[in-house]
Amino acid sequence: MDKTDAPQHSQTMIDTLILGGGLAGTAAALWLADLGHGSTIVEARPRLGGRAHACPWGDAGLEVDYGGGWIRTDHAEMIGLAKRLDITLIPRAPIIQHSHFRDGMWHADPAEDMAAHDAGLTQLLADAKIMADDTPASRALHAMTLQDYLTHRALPPSVVREVLAWWSISGSAPPDQVGVNEYLTPKLAKGLLIKLEELAFTVQGGASIIPQEAAKASGADAVLGDAAERLEDRGDCVQATLASGRKITARTALVALPVNTLSQIRFTPPLTPAQSRLRKLGHQGAAIKLMIRAKGPSPGHLATGEALGLRWIYADRHLPDGSTLLVAFGLHREVGEPTFAMVQTTMAAAFPSAEVLDFDWHDWINDPFARGTWVSPTLATLPDYGPQHWAMQGRIAFAGSDLYSAEQGWFEGALQTARTAVAALDLCLKQNG
């Protein structure tokens, strides 16, 4: 047995070994420290933050969010954590203009026939309300993919375009694979059709500051650039084996990894059947978020519709050099590999007076430590996300925004699942001396 293989004495053993230094893992380290428990974070990348990833972009002189960026007003955990860490949230520019792409051009109105368009929107709201209750009609809708739903309701093309535009920032997966419940949410049932209104804040300096500061404040040790490959629950302790061959033993473990990367870890004992299914099949979230720098557009201009796969473009803010930062979303399947020519053509239609300077993005889908954007469960795997399947077993707890929570997929979901996991870890640590 090599020296690190042997369980250490309990007084020197790490309380919790956290696999994954994203928002869920780092917030958990902080909240464990609040309860008097020490932790070590193992992170595969050379940086903390995971899908909260801001870095300086070219000579624009500003940190931009390549991953998650927006925080909603009702995201209490996220706002509370920023406040605790003394991090400033910046209000998003109000929408001053909304243009719609149809018939090869951009228009002020989403449809020629606005009466039919409004009737279609009313239908969406009615269906979202039905889906909020448990009735046979609701269950029938819950069994439909977005594509089935659009066919079944025969909504006007203008409504389909709007749905698909918002889908690129909500469902983020091929519409024929993921349930319409990703779009027809209880929030929509309350009439919040323009979801941009909900995305109220960004983080000054970029969203990754929050996990970085949380880790610092927790006092946790961080092992960076070394991926976990194996996690074993030995009954009286847990042991992780990292890519470097290093072994780390702890009293408990928290797995705070993206669902689509779980297949890279060998668990002993093996995961439960529901967990193994998800580990094998993963989720389908595969959006593209492009950052575009252009001269001309005024912050607050939103363009939705379909133009070369980019369905949603928002002029976010002025950069220090006077240019404007725009954020565009589309589905990976439709956009493919973004090119400057494609961005220019799209922008020429959406923002005719704009001069495109540059664009950039991060490929989260082929990123080995994400393997997708934000979670988008297929209908077949939806039940496997249930919290009962991911409750703490033995000495291993799970967290992360991909798992089920009221705010699944959002920063807030990462924090909600971390809260639940920390309570379970605390109990386990107290019960086991």
Compute the least distance from the CB of residue 417 to ligand FAD, in Å: 7
Compute the least distance from the CB of residue 4 to ligand FAD, in Å: 17
The answer for residues whose C-beta is within 8 angstroms of residue 129's C-beta and 6 or more apart is 189
Compute the least distance from the CB of residue 179 to ligand FAD, in Å: 19
Give the H/E segment covering residue 73. Answer: none
| Among residues 100, 289, 301, 311, the one that binds ligand FAD under rule CB under 6 A | 289
369 binds ligand FAD (CB under 6 A): yes
Integer angstrom CA distances of residue 152 from 113, 147, 158: 21, 9, 16
Residue 200 has φ and ψ, to the nearest 5°, of: -90, -35
Compute the least distance from the CB of residue 374 to ligand FAD, in Å: 4
Compute the least distance from the CB of residue 73 to ligand FAD, in Å: 12
Integer angstrom CA distances of residue 37 from 29, 77, 157, 249, 425: 8, 21, 55, 15, 9
Q: Which of 120, 135, 297, 109 is nearest to 193 (CA)?
A: 120
| Footprint of ligand FAD on 7-46 (CB under 6 A) | 19-25, 42-45
Q: Token match 């939705």: residue? A: 304
238 binds ligand FAD (CB under 6 A): no
Compute the least distance from the CB of residue 21 to ligand FAD, in Å: 5
| Among residues 31, 70, 101, 166, the one that binds ligand FAD under rule CB under 6 A | 70
| Footprint of ligand FAD on 386-415 (CB under 6 A) | 400-401, 409-411, 414
- Residue type for position 186: P
44, 225 Cβ separation under 8 angstroms: yes
The answer for residues whose C-beta is within 8 angstroms of residue 101's C-beta and 6 or more apart is 107, 161, 303, 304, 305, 306, 307, 349, 350
- Is the link from the previous residue into 320 a cis peptide, with omega within 30 of 0? no
Of residues 265 and 343, the one with the C-beta less far from ligand FAD: 265
d(CA 72, CA 60): 26
256 binds ligand FAD (CB under 6 A): yes
Candidate ranges 65-73, 132-140, 273-281, 306-314; the one touching ligand FAD (CB under 6 A): 65-73
Q: Token match 């698909």: residue? A: 164
Candidate ranges 50-58, 98-106, 213-221, 304-312; the one touching ligand FAD (CB under 6 A): 50-58
d(CA 102, CA 112): 9
Of residues 130 and 200, the one with the C-beta less far from ligand FAD: 200
120 binds ligand FAD (CB under 6 A): no
Please work out the total of residues on this chain that contact ligand FAD, with binding judged by CB under 6 A: 38
330 binds ligand FAD (CB under 6 A): no
d(CA 383, CA 145): 15
Q: Which residues bind ligand FAD (CB under 6 A)?
A: 19-25, 42-45, 50-52, 67-70, 227-228, 256-258, 261, 264-265, 289, 364, 369-370, 373-374, 400-401, 409-411, 414
